[in-house]
Amino acid sequence: MKKNKCIFLDRDGTINVYKGLIYRKEDIELEKDAAKAIKMINNSEYLCVVVSNQPTVARNLCSIEQAWEINERLEELLFEENGVYLDDIFICPHHPDRGYPEENVEYKIECGCRKPKIGMIIDAARKHNIDLSKSYIIGDTTIDIMTGKNAGLSAILVETGLAGNDKIYDVKPDFRATNLFYAVNMILNR
């Protein structure tokens, strides 16, 4: 069977406006032309899968159910724009640093899914039969770019959100783009 190609997307700062850690669904606000960009992916041969670190759960800022309600809100906002949809969403609710008084210990673990680890990418690739070597990741942090390198994806850094200024990893993206819309255009016009 022919394998699928996929554009993996980071969530906060890439699809929706960066507002620090998001733990209330009211704080989901789409970036300019993000819905248009994902519509273009929907109309292309690529799948569109979100991979997002959400340590809000481990930090007890919200429950895992509330974390998923935030994703549902995102899907709702996208769908209101011309029926735009995501093929799948993966979140890592974990965080490795224990010892904070308010933490949810169940999720305070060293997991295999927190980006730049590639657990979410591998799960998505199995579930959707994805050829990672023909796939991309688009994100606003060096963590996303590092995830791309670790998983063998081409990586595009966008200038929205943190715009690579987190500087956690010393890693260069394969491409840079103003925002998600330009990044998707770049991929589809190659």
Amino acid at 154: S
Nearer to Zn ion (CB atom), residue 38 or residue 125: 125
Please say which residue, 55 or 173, places its beta carbon nearer to Zn ion. Answer: 55
88 belongs to the catalytic site:
no
Rank residues 114 and 149 by Cβ distance to Zn ion and give the closer one.
Answer: 114
CB of 50 to Zn ion, least distance (A): 15
Instruction: Work out which of 17, 61, 111, 186 binds Zn ion, going by CB under 5 A.
Output: 111
- Residues forming beta bridges with residue 4, ordered by sequence position: 130
Catalytic-labelled residue, pool 12, 87, 140, 144: 12
Phi-psi region of 167 (alpha: psi -120 to 50; beta: other; left: phi over 0): left
Interacting stretch for Zn ion, rule CB under 5 A, among 2-10, 105-113, 125-133, 142-150?
A: 105-113
Q: Which is nearer to Zn ion, 38 or 92 (CB)?
A: 92
**Angular region, 163: left φ>0, alpha ψ -120 to 50, beta rest:** left
Q: Are 143 and 168 in contact (CB under 8 A)?
A: yes
What's CA 57's distance to the chain center, in Å?
16
* Catalytic-residue membership of 10: yes
Q: List the interface residues with Zn ion, window 37-96 (CB under 5 A).
A: 92, 94
CB atoms within 10 A of CB 98: 11
Q: How many CB atoms lie within 10 A of CB 172?
A: 12
Q: What residues act catalytically?
A: 10, 12
Q: Which residues bind Zn ion (CB under 5 A)?
A: 92, 94, 111, 113-114
